[in-house]
Amino acid sequence: KNEVEQSPQNLTAQEGEFITINCSYSVGISALHWLQQHPGGGIVSLFMLSSGKKKHGRLIATINIQEKHSSLHITASHPRDSAVYICAVPRTTGNQFYFGTGTSLTVIP
């Protein structure tokens, strides 16, 4: 059973397209994290959000706590956005995370 589900698993987009990656979770959470894993493997934290919406540059993350769903949007996508995007939620006890399997995004010039 996956506590965190992401969709799609793979996504190919043309440069400039608006992209949406979805994350659904089945556990109660205090916050949800969106992470970006670069082709070389390194992980960067993009957002941590517990309600509403956050924006950073061309990236927008939203969360609906009642529906246990979050989305990551990328506006005006660019080839450098190509990466794996991972949704992660902390367990209610302790410091562990449940990780999604990731969405592999490729943006074609």
Partner 1 sequence: EPEVTQTPSHQVTQMGQEVILRCVPISNHLYFYWYRQILGQKVEFLVSFYNNEISEKSEIFDDQFSVERPDGSNFTLKIRSTKLEDSAMYFCASKQMGRGGVETQYFGPGTRLLVL
74 three-state secondary structure: strand
Three-class SS state of 20: strand
Q: Which is nearer to partner 1, 6 or 77 (CB)?
A: 6
Q: Which of 97, 79, 83 is nearest to 25 (CA)?
A: 97
Q: Does 41 bind partner 1 (CB under 8 A)?
A: yes
Interface positions, 10-39, toward partner 1 (CB under 8 A): 30-31, 33, 35
Provide, rounded to whole angstroms, the least separation between the CB of residue 109 and partner 1: 26
Please, how many CA atoms are within 13 Å of residue 35, restricted to the half-sphere of its CB?
18
- Minimum CB separation from partner 1 for residue 28, in Å? 13
Per-position x/- string for 43-82, each x denoting binding to partner 1 as judged by CB under 8 A, each - no binding: xxx--x-x--------------------------------
DSSP 54: E
Sign of CA dihedral 25, 9, 99, 75: negative
Per CB under 8 A, residues contacting partner 1 are 30-31, 33, 35, 40-45, 48, 50, 86, 88, 94-97, 99-102
